[in-house]
Structure 1
């Protein structure tokens, strides 16, 4: 399987999923506003902006907007994406394949020639503090174990060689930087822009701190990850990235960053206020700039939801039989709520599933468990189960706010980013419950001939 985003986009182009805007667009607001307008119409084409003001680089966006596209990256149907992710992310491949002369080595800018303003970094929303790199995956190594990580972090353009970066997830990169700063050292890092969807998806994986992300990503491809060395920092990055920014996150330096339009559909003023200093810009011939529309957009949320579903599936399968499906709905930003369907064979299993899901990720605030006859990807059915199978005094469990760790970007958390959590058992009792109305399968098949009269 090709690990090059360009090959993936060529396939989408052949299949008619790519649309080109040939007239010049402004950096401020126009790109993100068009994408959000298309999403209101439930349209998710990959958009290529051939001409962006004051830049020689075209912008490509909406690559990661749909489950169908992630399915194409994994080679499966859209309905199988989460469970495929769950299976493959466990099949780590530790070896990497080193590409000595990667495409991004074609151009290298260093020293006083570095100028981030030449990249078409957009301003996405009026609330934003300035232009933001949104699709950049930050690569770094743990200064203790030496294992690598990469993940999405928002980055504000500050000047020609500086980005403000927030490590607000309080997870791997934040911890690696903390360890480095504790030693009085800046943390070497590289920002990769424009990578295959499998790399974007695998970057979200929850793996132990003593294991690298590359092994998990390789599992999604089913082969070693192809990487290449940086020129100015001791790191290896995905070999087919369109653009690579090499540099370091500065120790003992903090600078105001934000606000920024986050996936919650709110402006976020919270930030760790870190600073990334660029040492080199490297890019491919005819490179394009991948922009990920922030805010509550499909491209911002879908990748998070798939990862969340897959990791919860894996956790549930360790202790519970008969799990049918897991869904992290768009309505909860792909992060805060989790719907689980299961065939209950013993009372108490739904609550076991709820706390297993909470243990996977501190971002989850509410878990709803329903029976296997409820489609968790259809939110109306989940709400129907709540309406007809739940008695709140028996089926609802609440963890108080002072006990629950939340996510900094959630505006409802307290000043310490703590959140309450709620688990809901919306399953039927094992016996004595009203039967669900069903249609006769033979008659359903027979009336297919009559559907033409309703067209």
Structure 2
């Protein structure tokens, strides 16, 4: 199955499967679209195409990634594990010694298959069918949502924010929200740990403005890649090319040397001036389910807006989980499992449940064969990329299905002595963690929910789980079906 190359292909594929609903009645981008979409998301409903949005002439698409099936379709597979399988195949070669995440990932761009998917530059592109500069380059063309009552204003929520390292020219693509201040400026919500923020700091050191481009739409794989936790040495558009099984086409922006995705719906071009005072951005109803607090951030000045003649506006909302972003996170969980297992081969699986909003809770199952192994895994995970933000790690045995949080908690809570099996540590916190001791710094808790070994000081016998005799269970199930007490599917 071929992954969609742009949003219109994606919409067509969703619609052909009955996974997208068109709404022809006029809707308001101020709160109403969020209220409508949130109810649909919580009910496990379809993607939505609002064809008539108050104040603009373009349609708005939302909840495009809002199920495992739609997320898989976005990446051109039947199941997300297929992508993990392709990545696992790339890793079956001799790797640098040391087992360090950075060393492992440093080889990925050098692999022949990935290099074949390096982006290709083109001279013209659909995203530049209409070019608006200066005063004409107005954000009023877009149905930017004000999502929640206490939001500071409308926010662009599904962008690919493109910057380049001022020294090397190497591009970074990240998904950072943009608060619309007026028709020509937005906030630039760069967290200090992100690539765009690093480019901003370097531009400030050099005393120069930093060009920025914001892509809306394009290949769904590129939208996903913008929020995937990729290392600096694996370019986002190379990774999205790997997902697409063909190179992403890029075109030069009209007011800078940045390269932008040719198949995007809209490109917002501009710059951030590090010499300019920061501006208050937020609050914003965030994926934690709480409002992230107002803070000072750089300002993006718009120099141009380019778009397709018949463009649409892809967006999303975040809030109390589960939301659409949960399924984007699920893709990361499935796709990056092979990389995690290369660094920690004892890891069987891991899961970030919706209630943990990615960084608050992670279940990890391991093949345990020596004392203290659960603590080894905890400390190693806190040193791996964005896993450094994980607030609570729960380690369980290999035969525990961590995709079932209720089962995982039952196992872990049965197996712990709190004084013995809980480890506290300290490290970086997600900027959005409002409970952190200090901004970007918090404590962490690791729970060893594995069976304890004699080498860990446990000398008593470990009890067996209760389980029915298989033959008796099969016979009983057959009788229950005959009596109509369980359905045949059971």
* Offset from partner CA, 1:261-309 (integer Å, 9 cap, x none): 1111111124341111111111112111011112235223332343256
Task: Assess if the C-alpha contact under 8 Å between 2:163 and 2:213 holds in 1.
Answer: yes
Q: Show the counterpart of 1:106.
A: 129
Q: 1:351 to 1:83 in 2, by over 3 A?
A: farther
Cα offset, 1:436, TM superposition: 1.6
Q: Show the counterpart of 2:268.
A: 245
Q: 1:443 to 1:27 in 2, by over 3 A?
A: same
Task: Assess if the C-alpha contact under 8 Å between 1:121 and 1:132 holds in 2.
Answer: yes
3-state secondary structure, aligned to 1:55: coil
Q: Show the counterpart of 1:307.
A: 332
Task: Assess if the C-alpha contact under 8 Å between 1:74 and 1:81 holds in 2.
Answer: no
Q: May I ask how many residue pairs the two structures share in their alignment?
A: 450
Tell me the TM-score normalized by structure 2.
0.86
Distance in 2 between residues matched to 1:204 and 1:26, nearest whole Å? 27
Could you list the runs of 5+ residues in structure 2 that have no partner in the other structure?
A: 91-104, 455-460
Runs (4+) off by over 6 Å = none
| Aligned residue among 114, 118, 138 for 1:92 | 114
Structure number, greater radius of gyration: 2
Q: Are 1:50 and 2:51 counterparts?
A: yes
| Aligned residue among 158, 161, 174 for 1:135 | 158
Distance in 2 between residues matched to 1:47 and 1:113, nearest whole Å? 29
Task: Assess if the C-alpha contact under 8 Å between 1:169 and 1:407 holds in 2.
Answer: no
Q: 1:192 to 1:347 in 2, by over 3 A?
A: same
Task: Assess if the C-alpha contact under 8 Å between 1:200 and 1:303 holds in 2.
Answer: no
Cα offset, 1:141, TM superposition: 0.7
Q: Show the counterpart of 1:392.
A: 418
Cα offset, 1:66, TM superposition: 2.0
Task: Assess if the C-alpha contact under 8 Å between 1:308 and 1:335 holds in 2.
Answer: no
Cα offset, 1:73, TM superposition: 2.7
Task: Assess if the C-alpha contact under 8 Å between 1:167 and 1:272 holds in 2.
Answer: no
Cα offset, 1:438, TM superposition: 2.8
Task: Assess if the C-alpha contact under 8 Å between 2:29 and 2:145 holds in 1.
Answer: yes
3-state secondary structure, aligned to 2:280: coil
Task: Assess if the C-alpha contact under 8 Å between 2:6 and 2:217 holds in 1.
Answer: no
3-state secondary structure, aligned to 1:338: strand
Q: 1:309 to 1:296 in 2, by over 3 A?
A: farther
Q: Show the counterpart of 2:72.
A: 71
Q: Show the counterpart of 1:436.
A: 465
Task: Assess if the C-alpha contact under 8 Å between 1:96 and 1:227 holds in 2.
Answer: yes
* Offset from partner CA, 1:157-177 (integer Å, 9 cap, x none): 111111111102522110111
Cα offset, 1:439, TM superposition: 4.1
Instruction: Give the stretch that moved more between structures: 387-396 or 124-133.
Output: 387-396
Q: 1:195 to 1:335 in 2, by over 3 A?
A: farther
Q: Are 1:363 and 2:389 counterparts?
A: yes
Instruction: Give the stretch that moved more between structures: 87-96 or 130-139.
Output: 87-96
| Aligned residue among 416, 419, 424 for 2:439 | 416
3-state secondary structure, aligned to 2:327: helix
Q: Show the counterpart of 1:23.
A: 25
Distance in 1 between residues matched to 2:83 and 2:397, nearest whole Å? 19
| Aligned residue among 184, 187, 199 for 1:176 | 199
* Offset from partner CA, 1:297-345 (integer Å, 9 cap, x none): 5223332343256446523422433x32111111111232211112222
Q: Show the counterpart of 2:319.
A: 295
Cα offset, 1:72, TM superposition: 1.9
Q: 1:357 to 1:197 in 2, by over 3 A?
A: farther
| Aligned residue among 403, 420, 438 for 1:377 | 403
Could you list the runs of 5+ residues in structure 1 that have no partner in the other structure?
A: none
Task: Assess if the C-alpha contact under 8 Å between 1:85 and 1:220 holds in 2.
Answer: no
Q: Are 1:336 and 2:356 counterparts?
A: no
Task: Assess if the C-alpha contact under 8 Å between 1:4 and 1:240 holds in 2.
Answer: yes
Distance in 2 between residues matched to 1:34 and 1:449, nearest whole Å? 46
* Offset from partner CA, 1:4-27 (integer Å, 9 cap, x none): 222122111000000111100011
Q: Show the counterpart of 2:7.
A: 5
* Offset from partner CA, 1:45-95 (integer Å, 9 cap, x none): 101101000100111000122222222233434462683586479563362
Distance in 2 between residues matched to 1:443 and 1:105, nearest whole Å? 68
Distance in 2 between residues matched to 1:52 and 1:84, nearest whole Å? 41
3-state secondary structure, aligned to 1:140: strand
3-state secondary structure, aligned to 1:256: strand
Q: 1:308 to 1:335 in 2, by over 3 A?
A: farther
Tell me the TM-score normalized by structure 1.
0.92
Task: Assess if the C-alpha contact under 8 Å between 1:263 and 1:301 holds in 2.
Answer: no
* Offset from partner CA, 1:402-425 (integer Å, 9 cap, x none): x41111111011333201011111
Please give the root-mean-square deviation of Cα atoms over the aligned residues, in Å: 2.3
